[in-house]
Chains A and B, each alone.
Chain A
Amino acid sequence: MQGNGFKVGAVIFFLALSAWYLFPSLQGISLNNRLEEMGQEERTDYERENYSRIESIKEKSLNLGLDLQGGMHTTMEVGLRELLVQLAAERRDDAFDQVLATADERSQEEGISLIDAFVEEFERRDPDARLSRYFRSETITRRSDNADVTDYLRTQGTDAIERAMQVIRNRVDRYGVTEPSIQTQGSRRIVVELPGIDDPERVRRLLKGTARLEFRLMADPGELNSSLQRIINYYEVDVAVEADSVEVPAEEDIAEEADTSFDVSQLLAETEGLDDVGNPLLDVLIPAGQGSVVFGEVSVQDTATFNMLMADPDVQAMLPRDIELLYDANPSGTGGAEYYPVLAVNMNAELTGDVITDARSDFDQTTNQPLVDMEMNSEGARVWSRLTGANVGKNVAIVLDRVVYSYPTVIGQISGGRSQITGLASQEESDDIVTVLKSGALPAPVEIVEERTVGPSLGIVARRSGFMSLLVGLSIVALFMIVYYRGGGMVADLALLINIIFILGILAGFNATLTLPGIAGIVLTIGMAVDANVLIFERVREEQSTGKTLKASIDGGYGKALSAIVDANITTFFVGIILYSFGVGPIQGFAVTLMAGILASLFSAIVFTRIIFDYVVIGRRGIVNFG
């Protein structure tokens, strides 16, 4: 018993520490139970009265992973490629695009930064070329050397990610999620975790929305109509060529058989063939009438085909100068199917969203449709007033992220910098637009590269099955140990229980998150935790069989088993470290509990059980049966 004071102290200290960290979690469980018993009204009252206490309990409780409580986990990447294009702006040329494309491929394959790959590729292509050809800023001039430009680009890259993170944080805060987590991962990714999300689609839009608001003039109706006719004719001609090539063998056949007879079936086949091909453009597009800024209407299913047809460079050349086609945000309600108007707008914006100082969600007084009211700064107001004054009777398109929300006809000059976005589907949409407009624009488009969503009901199922396996696993192993090692087994079981308290304490203390794979890690540790005791007990039995006293056997058992225990556990601990460093998300959860489990089990199986045996055997002169 002598010299055990320190060990006893250590056990008590760690137990107290675990209890301290776990106490809020226990409070949280009892709080939840109490809240569930209450009625709706009573519950809101209670929550309001005890707001700060509830918040503090929630904050200090053991975090449950999204897989256990439901929610959305997304990894987003800031489009550095688009950022470089934006930085180069009009200085960009073919060589730039080629280098960027190769660099993009390389960065993907080798997992290196796009900016580094870009600089390397650029210098490899022409060692003497200067990057300053493409990039300018206050600090970068034509004379800046490549190293300076590279530094500038790197700073721009990290800035973009930081700004994107800030913007996303603003948006998430405005959306209102309890306990969101937004973190950077590596040098170019942002991980957003949102517990309890029930509308992933809306969140996706909110996170990705660049909210590039633009006010653009629209095409001249007359010009638009003639180019529409030209494009239709272009596809008409195309069909005729195809039909010709099909007909060639047929004509030879006719010539061979009888040159005078008119083959009706042949004609039918031809016209049928023509019908099948038709005019591919008119198959998908309902052309608009004259005098409109609308190009035509396309049904939802045909948008892909329409885009493909219009992507033809020859067709693009037929559009009026500096005009591009964008979709309307709202389908025109004709017929059962949904048709989207295609609008012809100027490529260049007259005004952009950065002049917006305030935005507010509202309803139209007469139609009761949702809308967004916006206010501009003085600079914006001046341009807006000039723009509306000069274009009375024409349309101005209000474009958000390359979708036209409305294109009102200007009735008179608007001073004071007020404008509106109408044509919104719901108040939800107007709220989201306000959120995105007010949180600032993203520096570069972001892309969701990974998304994992778990519905709340599934989270409950996962939680239930996780704790079920924990309970069953624990009981089976505990029962086995008692059957196999009798008294010793009971001590080992006690150690096992303490072990689990330690693991949970470590997790809570380090503010780690408990995930389903994490629970699997704990369950696995239960199986392996008894191993240390198995090794010791087997040794004790061996010692006993050589005729030693119980005390001597216990001494020998602990002494001799130690090296095997340490060796066996260290390797698994290594695996845990490596899994933690390379794994992501849930796998890290598994690694953490595995490592915590090994540390806790070593302590409880070696130190704790020894204290018990020493106390019983030496202190009380009792007997422990090792089966």
Chain B
Amino acid sequence: MRIFENTNYNLVGSRKRGYAVSGILLLLSLGAILIRGLEIGIDFRGGMEFVVESDEILEVTEVRAVLTPVLETSPEIKTYSDVGAEGQDALLIRTASEGETSEVQMLIIQSISDAFPDSNPRVIKTDIVGPRFAEDLKRGSFYAVLGSLLVIFLYVMLRFEWRFGLGAVAALFHDVLITLGVFSLLQGIMPFSMQIDQAIIAAFLTIVGYSLNDTVVIFDRIREYTNLFKTEPYKTVVNRSVNTTLSRTFVTSGTTLLVVATLFMFGGEVLRGFSFALIIGIIIGTYSSVFVATPVVVELYNRSGSAKKAGQR
């Protein structure tokens, strides 16, 4: 079976269309992040999360009404899928309360069992992050992101020429921003937690690595073809490179997307936000290596090379 065999799409020629699409997506994402903001998880702001299992199905709104006066701050409550013994949903209760863990936990259980006598609630999972620890996690993640971007940039710079480095980094920012934008837009709409926590940062860095993977394969081919077809215009060479690698790009993205979708469906609630970020990131990353990273290289080449290589274009 073959797809995209011997294609000759004028992908470089239609890069303007790519700019328009990316521009709109970037604007939407930036707008969403600025207006709607991002939901920060307890990893980075501190707080407590309890997953409460019960014998009868509890309604989110009713439980919230019961807990709000007791906890003094309105807790966030979501359903937490298929964790119970018979596969029934549990509730995820998230509060910013700074009290003693045992006391808050007792308060929650007590209030729920008072209000719903047959529910027999029990805590099956807790995540507690103190404000001090959250500060450290935030700092660690910040350095992790910064470090990754730097190392990747340096590597691409060393391995390829600077235009490629810039192209790759432009694509990375594009991918991460749009994925963040999607998170900002969909938070509260999707039935699972889309808060920015450690796992999401790991997902973002994986997206960064993945997006680069795609880009590097195309760049590698451009480098090879530039030496092979010295007489042809740069644009043609680049376009041919993108076309010949297109089949690989789709196959690899396809297989990776398949496994990530598997994780999303079967990996359980803990991995849902994480794998969702990866799904978005892989789609955007594949698109960006063809429509962002490569065109940036062409543009930079045109601009810097226009004087001395005017005859080639």
Contact = CB atoms under 8 A, between A and B. Distances in A.
Interface string A565-604: 0011111101110110111101100110010000000000
Given A484-B1, A627-B1, A574 B152 contact: yes
Contact of A453 (B125, B129, B259): B125
A448 B128 contact: yes
Contacts of A476: 258-259, 262
B300 interface: no
A311 B67 CA distance: 29
B252 A578 contact: no
Interface in A443-468: 447-455, 457-458, 461-462, 465-466, 468
Contacts of B199: 517, 586-587, 590
Contacts of A567: 159, 216-217, 219-220
A451 B126 contact: yes
A453 B244 CA distance: 50
A571 B300 CA distance: 23
B279 to A, nearest CB: 12
Interface in A180-219: 200-201, 204-205
B206 A484 contact: no
Interface in A533-561: 534-535, 538, 541-542, 545, 560
Contacts of A520: 263, 267, 271, 274-275
Interface string B93-134: 000000001100110000000000000000111111110110
B141 to A, nearest CB: 7
Nearest to A585: B198
Contacts of B123: 453, 455
Nearest to B135: A108
Interface stretch (A25-33, A129-137, A335-343, A522-530): A522-530
A587 B217 contact: no
Given A458-B124, A568-B216, A480 B259 contact: no
A480 B206 CA distance: 23
B268 A465 contact: yes
B143 interface: yes
B140 interface: yes
Interface string B228-259: 00000000000000001101100110111111
Contacts, number: 225
Contacts of B53: 457
B148 A458 contact: no
Contacts of B274: 517, 520
B133 A572 contact: no
Contacts of B102: 201, 204-205
B202 A449 contact: no
At the interface, is chain A mostly helix, strand, loop or mixed?
helix
B148 A469 contact: no
B83 interface: yes
Given A564-B216, A568-B216, A579 B144 contact: yes
Contacts of A451: 101, 126-128
B83 A458 contact: yes
Contact of B130 (A111, A449, A526, A564): A449
A448 B259 contact: no
B12 interface: no
Nearest to B103: A201
A599 B310 CA distance: 44
Nearest to B197: A587
Given A455-B124, A572-B209, A465 B155 contact: no
A150 to B, nearest CB: 23
Contacts of A583: 140, 144, 198, 202
B309 interface: no
Given A582-B141, A583-B202, A531 B213 contact: yes
B202 A579 contact: yes
A528 B213 contact: yes
Given A568-B216, A582-B141, A587-B199, A469 B267 contact: yes
Contacts of A517: 199, 202, 271, 274
B125 A582 contact: no
Given A461-B83, A568-B216, A571-B212, A453 B126 contact: yes
Contacts of A108: 132, 135
A109 interface: yes
B159 A461 contact: no
B270 A574 contact: no
A455 B92 CA distance: 14
B125 A458 contact: yes
Nearest to A573: B209
A542 B243 CA distance: 12
A455 B206 CA distance: 29
Contacts of B248: 534-535, 538
B202 A563 contact: no
B221 interface: yes
Given A451-B101, A578-B147, A516 B268 contact: yes
Interface in A100-124: 108-109, 111
Contacts of B219: 567
A80 B137 CA distance: 20
A284 B259 CA distance: 60
B278 interface: yes
B260 interface: yes
Given A67-B270, A531-B256, A578-B147, 11 more contacts: A448-B128, A455-B124, A458-B124, A466-B268, A516-B270, A516-B271, A517-B271, A526-B255, A569-B213, A575-B152, A584-B140
- The 10 A-B residue pairs with the shortest CB-CB distance, nearest first, are A527-B256, A572-B209, A455-B124, A582-B144, A465-B268, A527-B259, A473-B259, A449-B130, A575-B209, A449-B133
24 contacts: A67-B270, A449-B129, A449-B130, A449-B132, A453-B127, A465-B267, A465-B268, A466-B268, A476-B259, A484-B251, A517-B271, A524-B256, A527-B260, A528-B213, A534-B248, A534-B251, A538-B247, A541-B2, A563-B220, A571-B156, A572-B213, A579-B202, A586-B198, A594-B206
Interface of A: 67, 75, 77, 108-109, 111, 200-201, 204-205, 447-455, 457-458, 461-462, 465-466, 468-469, 472-473, 476-477, 480-481, 483-484, 516-517, 519-520, 523-524, 526-528, 530-531, 534-535, 538, 541-542, 545, 560, 563-564, 567-572, 574-576, 578-579, 581-584, 586-587, 590-591, 594, 627
